[in-house]
Amino acid sequence: MNDDHVLYRFSKTELFIFTYSSTITLGLIFLPYVSHLEVRSAWLKVIVAGLPMIGVFFLIQVVINKHKNSDILDLFDHYTWKIIYYLVLIYIFFNAVMACCWGVKALNLIVRSFLLHNTSELVICLFFLIVVLVGLLYGIVPITRFLVLFFIFEIIIVVAVAILFFTEDFRFIYVKPVMSTDVLTFLESSLTDLTRFTGVMPLIGFITYIKQPQQIFKTVSGAIGLVMLTYSMISLLVLGVFGFDQALVLLSPLTSLIQSSTAWEGVFQRMDMVFITIWVLSFYKIALIHFWFVHYLFVKLIPVARKTEIVNKIMIVSGILALSFIVPGYIEFNSSLYFMNLNFYAIVTPSLMCIYLLMRRPITRQGELSDG
């Protein structure tokens, strides 16, 4: 099906699940590994770091209400010079592609570390991306229904994490003090945690298919709030079970948490395998979202590509497969510069676009730039 002619309009529930599914997986895997500066306050930082993303969608909501149009990129195209529009669009497209590449790299890292130690990276990535391509060819409506159907697995993770707070493995004394560093270091480290929420950027495309785009803010902020709660619970548990020093060197804290916990004895001998299986499924969901967003932006960049949708998607998946072997992984380079770029991509860029659109008068001529 052609995503640019979707007649189906998504509900608030589907918007909530799409928002939650778009960012939760990668953030869970690397908590609190990404933040080297301050781990003791990681549970608080992930809450603080989510607030700017909520602010971005508040601005988007105000723009939608003012211009009566939920397609932010089309509005920006209309109100600005073409050269600026295409430069911004290329920048967003580049970062969306890189997000897909890093997602594939993260999947390969987890699978080779905990499941298939001797399997080549090519086999893992190729098999995964073939399955992603099949889902991508169906379009955004089946993808969203798939997300809704398997949302139960996300809830299983949240509930299981909450249960671990009441086991003998968790020691609250490891969590204190709340603030063990100065405010400047705390805020600087929070900028790194902010990258966990940049996965919600595909919402810029998805909200164009929402039934009532004038009422998206509460739903989106609620979903981001649930992500913040989940991240903070993981951070508290990692510190409460392993302590500060050991938390710094964990590759995948949640997997280590499940492996070391005695709470599942007598239930599953390898409970961590259950969680890793759920994670692989979660990777598939988050890949569908971000690969779809890359295709959405690709059609914006090259409008004539609407006529060759199947070819576009095959080309996008093949290109990202090739790039995934070139792009370094999370632990292979100094990633602070890349994280700062992600924050600019997900926070600064859409905020500046929205502020600019709020300064422009809405179009009053009937039929021009109308929503949908």
**Structure-derived torsion over alpha carbons of residues 290, 218, 229, 155, reported in degrees to the nearest 10:** -70
- CA 30 – CA 26 distance, rounded (Å): 7
| Residue range 124-161, pLDDT digits in tens | 888 888 988 998 998 888 899 988 888 877 777 778 77
Angle at CA of residue 146, ends 144 and 147, nearest 5°: 65
Phi, psi values for residue 31, rounded to 5°: -70, 135
Phi, psi values for residue 210, rounded to 5°: -85, 145
pLDDT band at 16 (very low <50, low <70, confident <90, very high): very high
| Residue range 79-114, pLDDT digits in tens | 999 999 999 999 999 999 988 888 888 777 777 776
Q: Which residue's entry shows tokens 């300064």?
A: 359
Q: Which residue's entry shows tokens 């938390």?
A: 247
Sign, Cα dihedral of 72, 76, 77, 83: negative
Structure confidence at residue 34 (pLDDT): 47
Q: Are 353 and 88 in contact (CB under 8 A)?
A: yes
Instruction: Tell me the H-state helices in 139-215.
Output: 140-149, 151-164, 183-194, 203-206
Q: Are 73 and 89 in contact (CB under 8 A)?
A: yes
DSSP string, 313-341: HHHHHHHHHHHHTTS--TTSS--HHHHHH
Rama region for 139: left / alpha / beta (φ>0; ψ in -120 to 50; rest): left
